[in-house]
Chain A
């Protein structure tokens, strides 16, 4: 339904999709501008950072496409329109995800994929079947990890209805963090996004395996293969949080 409504104004759709493409592209332009002044950042070359940027951007873009509407939940709870979702014969979470489904967010996915392709072309990697397999694996698991952050954030909005921006810190903030190599950040921060909120499994750990770079925090080599498991665990936890949030929901009664 939302796709059809978007397509009713084709010019507007193309404009917003391009806009999404451009908004995210500016992040990479900033990186290019940095590399107009230096050859390396945190010991990483532009091609390596493009690879990190591309994997983070594509994974996040896919999750944004599927779950990016989750931040509208607080507004629906506030104005009372959330109730209409409860009486419809479809899973509530699917309805929230599909609420104003924005196909124009495809621009973000395309932008990430483009930079990823650039990185893969320019990089000199000794490819093995395992490394090749790692690319789609990390993008899909990464998208699932980000999706669970969206769902957990939505569950949080049942409690704090005005706090949609906190979610942005973890979603948009997380994807920005992962665009840069872990060598830039403090040990505590890297520890936090490895063991507490496992964003490091979106791309850092699998990508460093592909690049043949040392892992942060002296982690063993096999952790690079954990993303699918971590993703499944995150989705399960987010699902529990969502159910707890839904159960705690009291209508505004208006």
Chain B
């Protein structure tokens, strides 16, 4: 029991480190917020044009659609939709062989990086998520939840989304054990991330079968699901279903990552470090 508490403290410290590490880049964070805001404005006008033409498209009214835009800009770096989180460093460590040192440490590789990534996401949520949403609310007519419980439900969906995002990028990073270079898989993953998360367009606007297909993929847990929780399109059993969807993908992907990690570890030993 004592050991377990120590473990928890360790990973909490790692998460705190991840948070603090990103909080040192203040100018870069401000620059990122500026860019997210500019893109938010451009995207918002295209959504206004689209919903002017088709009111109620995808089950959203125009105000909900605009809220979706700003949630997307706010969550873009939280979910590392275009890459650029821990996986860059992990791939580099695999490429250079430093990973051998990590594997000797008495900590679990996957849990270690998950903790660090949750810390990073926490900072991005405060540093890059809040301001675009506030600016968006000042410039456009957004639908913000009135009840605190919905905000809490949203934050939980964001946390589950971060775990799914981590699980995907962990698999991407481990591919470097076999490919020696993660550039190709990283690029493919960020392409899929931007498209299938609903960053370009809400997934419920995607036509027919493509929409259903996209909604079933893990990436929809990163943006579409938190946005739906925020916008209150689901409650009660529907809300539970959304969480179950996120946790289901998190379990499947984390397990796959665990199996791949074991296989990769054996590979390092075979190579002799």
Interface residues of B in 38-88 (CB under 8 A from A): 38-39, 41-42, 45-46, 48-50, 53-54, 57
Interface size on A, residues (CB 8 A): 36
- Is A23's CB within 8 Å of the partner chain B? yes
Partner of A169, one of B25, B34, B46, B53: B34
Contact residues in B for A38 (Cβ distance below 8 Å): 50, 53-54
- Is A30's CB within 8 Å of the partner chain B? yes
Instruction: Give complex CA distance A15, B28 in Å.
Output: 29
Number of A-B residue pairs with CB-CB distance less than 8 Å in the complex they form? 99
- How does the 8 Å CB contact mask read for A32-54 relative to B, with 1 for contact and 0 for none? 01101110111000000000000
- Is A138's CB within 8 Å of the partner chain B? no
- Is B100's CB within 8 Å of the partner chain A? no
Contact residues in B for A22 (Cβ distance below 8 Å): 191
- How does the 8 Å CB contact mask read for A160-172 relative to B, with 1 for contact and 0 for none? 1111111011100
Q: Give min CB distance, B10 to chain A, whole Å.
A: 31
> Could you tell me if B42 and A30 are in contact, using CB atoms closer than 8 angstroms?
no
Which chain B residue shows the least CB distance to A163? B31
- How does the 8 Å CB contact mask read for B151-193 relative to A, with 1 for contact and 0 for none? 0000000000000000000000000000001011001100100
- Is A184's CB within 8 Å of the partner chain B? yes
Chain A contact residues: helix, strand, loop or mixed = helix
Partner of A33, one of B28, B35, B207: B207
Contact residues in A for B187 (Cβ distance below 8 Å): 15-16, 19, 23
Instruction: Give complex CA distance A170, B41 in Å.
Output: 13
Instruction: Give complex CA distance A168, B77 in Å.
Output: 15
Contact residues in B for A176 (Cβ distance below 8 Å): 39, 42
- Is B256's CB within 8 Å of the partner chain A? no
Which chain B residue shows the least CB distance to A40? B53
Q: List 20 A-B contacts (CB under 8 A).
A: A12-B181, A16-B183, A26-B194, A26-B195, A26-B200, A29-B200, A34-B205, A37-B50, A37-B207, A42-B49, A160-B27, A161-B27, A163-B27, A163-B31, A166-B31, A168-B35, A169-B34, A173-B39, A185-B42, A189-B41
Additional 12 contacts, C-beta under 8 A, given A15-B183, A160-B27, A189-B41: A12-B183, A23-B191, A23-B194, A33-B200, A34-B46, A34-B201, A36-B207, A162-B27, A163-B30, A169-B35, A169-B38, A186-B45
Please provide the 9 A-B residue pairs with the shortest distance between their CB atoms, ordered closest to farther.
A162-B27, A30-B200, A165-B31, A169-B38, A163-B31, A169-B35, A19-B187, A38-B53, A162-B28
